[in-house]
Amino acid sequence: MSTTVIVAAAIVAGDPVRVLAAQRSYPAELAGLWELPGGKVHDGESDVDALVRECREELGVDVRPTHRLADDVAIGAQTLLRVWWAELVRGEPSALEHQAVRWIGREDINALPWLPSDAPVVAALHADWPGPADNVRE
């Protein structure tokens, strides 16, 4: 059995830097919890291509993945979550497949109820939050 890879984007914008969080609308047991936007990597698709595609489909925006955020996170016996930092290139994020989207600052991370599987991602966000010197685009 092959491993399924899920990619997610820590999309950054602004000064001070903010990250886009997305509120799940389904399945019922996860609805209302927050995550970083993303989705499944299809056969023959690179992580970066999947991330760009998922952000277009879910948010209606173009992003440029820049570098990985932490290590892979196992979210099941055969599923890995792989998170990338990404710059917002074009568009204003819309909740096309989520209940809501929200720009959050570093101080807001712990105020959201995140998916339980995202705990390592939330810790990595705290540890690797970009500073003003990182030249993040508006």
pLDDT of residue 80: 96
Using pLDDT thresholds of 50, 70 and 90, give the confidence band for residue 135: very low
pLDDT of residue 130: 86
Instruction: Measure the CA–CA gap between 132 and 17, rounded to whole angstroms.
Output: 7
What are the tens digits of pLDDT across the range 19-36? 999 999 999 999 999 999
What mean pLDDT comes out for the span 2-14?
95
What would the two tokens of residue 45 be? 């698709």
- Domains along the chain with CATH numbers: 4-126 (3.90.79.10)
pLDDT of residue 137: 38
What are the tens digits of pLDDT across the range 61-118? 999 999 999 899 999 899 999 999 999 999 999 999 999 999 999 999 999 999 998 8
